[in-house]
Amino acid sequence: MSQASYFSLPPLKESRLSHIFVHVGGIPRPIDKFQIVYMQSEVNYTRLFLKNGKSYLESKTLKHFNEVLGNVDFVRIHKSYLINAKHIVTMTPDNVLLLNGEELPISRRKRRALKKDNALTKFWGN
């Protein structure tokens, strides 16, 4: 696992941002946002989990990433998780199953809003 730092980018209303830059070994590297499977809060840091199995610890909050990436491609399912909707396999009232096999919890507070989200309707299982 690599330690990385985030380049500050202005928040966008819609998710037109295609890359996030992280420092890997002191060198800024672009990461395609669609390579990000999910993000997990670690107090004032956020860990990004990528499709290739790598993860990066960023010195920004999950709230910051939620604002920067918009609400089109990424979905907040819990106070600790922001997931890439392109990687969802199925959703139950309690969990989300992702393409990489990870199963993440859905908070009770987010459940109702997620069920009403038309873009996510196709993922709801029984």
| CATH number for position 11 | 2.40.50.1020
Specify the pLDDT at position 116: 78
Specify the pLDDT at position 16: 59
Structural domains counted in the chain: 1
10: domain range?
2-123
Specify the pLDDT at position 123: 79
Give pTM, 2 decimals. Answer: 0.80
Nearest to 75 by CA among 100, 109, 43, 110: 110
CA 61 to chain centre: 12
Specify the pLDDT at position 114: 82
Angle (CA) 100 43 82, round 5°? 35
Q: Are 28 and 21 in contact (CB under 8 A)?
A: yes
| pLDDT string in tens for the chain (126-residue length) | 444 443 433 443 444 578 888 777 777 789 999 999 999 999 999 999 999 999 998 888 999 888 888 667 899 999 999 999 999 999 988 999 999 999 999 998 888 888 777 677 777 775
Specify the pLDDT at position 7: 40
